[in-house]
Structure 1
Amino acid sequence: MGEMLASLRFITSPRTVRLRLTLLYGVLFAASSAVLLTITFLLVWNSRRNAASLRYGTLEPGRQGPIPPLSVAEQAREYVQRQNEALIQDLLIQSMIAFAIMTIISFAIGWLISGRVLRPLRTMNDTIRRISARNIHERLALQGPRDELRNLADTVDGLLGRLHAALDAHKHFVANAAHELRTPLTVEHALLEEALLDAGADADSLRSTMGRLLSISEQQGRLLESLLTLAESEGGLAHRQPVDLAAVADRVVRATAAGDLRLLPALSPALASGDPALIERLVANLVDNAVRYNVPGGRVEVTTGVTDGWAVVSVLNTGPVIPPDQVERLLEPFQRLDRTVRGNGHHGLGLSIVRAIAAAHDALLSALARPDGGLSVRVSFPLATGLAARNGA
């Protein structure tokens, strides 16, 4: 019994989809054929028996009509019975032969049909196997009716498109990062070479050179820290906890050196769910960006609160006029409004880090250029109450 069950499991769990479909088609056809032949056999057998009963019913005692001799009646019954048995047996044998032939034919037809059905999948599989980083621009572009296979092919094409865009963005990011790191390295090399070649250099000139090298090194450290924060944000969150945006914004505002700018906080409690360090970095980057790209005597407005079931922090600043079509570009890494100006070691990573942290928190980010100059950025975080409800569930 155990060997039979093992054999049955092997037959019902084939290794290929085509064989699985063939077995399914064949078994279904064989089962339906067996039921049809059984019904036909029962109907023929029943009809033959009824016909014999009606034909020789006058031979039964107690019925009206002429009564032949008993030996003749018995011989007639035996003859009819033998004829019926021979007919039923012949019908059974012929039905079993037809069933066996049609079962073989059904498995063959099932194999051909399953191959035809799975042909688009084989084409898709071959194309996907052929696609690599060098030709990721290729697409499946499956033709035919809008069915499940066409929808699957379109989904895979969409995935390849997103992967292509991600690889392009990655290459662009690496190129920009290499450029940002190569520039200070070139300056460091020039300063060191100048100090070594200057035979008359005194302690003051060497001290000045060391000071410039230290400043460049600090800028590189800030750049690497920003890159690490960006990578950590894009990797997602390991844990979430309640974070009061008002308290975070208050700490950032108190630590910001605004100079002649006016910092105008309007902070209301807003309990968001997320990573405290990353959220504080987000608010700090928004405020730092608002202070750096401002005008003399301008203002920076920092607001927190709860709006429409979201914990919201928004930073608005005055500043130079930003073309509306440039706002989206400023959210990309290493992008600045004026590409030729690189002041105070600002590498154009601030807003890209803000967007990455917002995406990691499932937050909504909105950035708008103000008509009279400056930028308005709003980030809406999920409330911590939703986090508590999920943890409680």
Structure 2
Amino acid sequence: MSAKLHPGRRPRPVTRLLQACLPGTLLWQTFLLVALLLILALGAWSQIFSYFQEPARSRDVAQMVVSVVNLTRTALINADAGRRTDLLIELAALEGIRIYPAEASDEVEPLADTRPNRLLINDVRRQLGNHTRFASRWKTLDGFWVSFRLDPDDQHNEYWVMLPGERIESPDTLDWLVWGLGALFAAMLGAYLIASWMGRPLRQVARAARLVGSGQTPPPLDESGPHEIAVVAHAFNQMTGDLARTDADRALILAGVSHDLRTPLARLRLGVEMSGAPDSEVTAMVSDIEEMDRIIGQFLDFGRGVPQEPAQAVDVVQLVREIAEPYRLRGIDLQLDTPESLTCSARALSLRRALANLIDNALRYAGEDMRLDIVVGPHDGFTCIEVADRGPGIPEDEVERMRHPFTRLEKARSNTKGAGLGLAIVERVMRSHGGRLDLLPREGGGLRAILCLPADGNPGARARMHGSQEDSPSHAH
């Protein structure tokens, strides 16, 4: 479980302990907390029940002990002196009651000092007298031992009587334990069902949010159920509708911008070329116009959002060769290292745009007189396209920032043009494919920009992120 903390504020030890112990999902957090509450409640209920049940139980056991002692005393008093031994043997055989004469040298162990035993001792002594003694062991025999006198005033005519342990102990302890565990299991099952029922609307919202994040319009959420959930579902549905209308308006605006901006640029370029100005000035002005056109193209590409083009089987090697050919015709030194053919599921148009952006970036920052290396091949479940240049590269601590729009490295790439959208567009294209963009340093200087497409044919698969150079395909250049 992760907590959102104020920047710079370290979590407290208790918070860190909870974060380490509790699972990450709301379902299991709720279930464990409810289960803990049930266990504590059951434990407290058991203690309360025992506290109020022990006096009644002690009175019943004490009455049974007193009855056995009184009956035994009466039997011994009324029996003939010669038949007392036979009577003692018969009581032990039939009732499990052992009776032995008490002596001053008897070795005994007292009963455990517990509340039930204290209540029992007080109740028995109140009826038999304060001279009554109790023991948990007499000599070598364990049991519940009680002393009694044939005559309360005769200290020399005293006996020990041992009662079977099952008569003293609560006979339904195991039953109570079984029923308590059964009730706890039923309560925890109910807690799990309740937590699962509470988390289901949140899981639906999470799935719908992921669809919105990928540029799709999810089906409306069910707005029935508890008031709080219904309010969230209604707000989410309203947000989804607003986003869909915004996307429609954006597409309409972009269609107009593409025409209204590029048409004047085309006329301006034509006018510059026919102006009769010196060739050096014409070349500089045409270069500026082309750069403006590229910037407008980047804005339009970024503004279009996630491409809606359906995925299909694409020969990546053929696509790379088609993109590289115009650059070679311009005199760019482009070296390809590719297999004969390599097919994966992709959106061809957006993939072309992403690869062209990487090549343009490499030429802009490394220079058109430097060689570019493009490597295509499978690696670790991905189809990878690597564009390697000999430019200034990107510092490791700046890589993540460079994935954001309108971001440039002013120190490392100071005299460059562009709007800072090239890598942001590539990043968005790769996310729409379920892949990733790796930006790694190149041995000997430069940048390795690698497009990694899932090779399993599922553009929506989650790409595994690798942050080290060894995790990406590399070739010696």
TM (norm. structure 2) is: 0.38
More helix by share: 1
Structure of larger gyration radius: 2
TM (norm. structure 1) is: 0.44
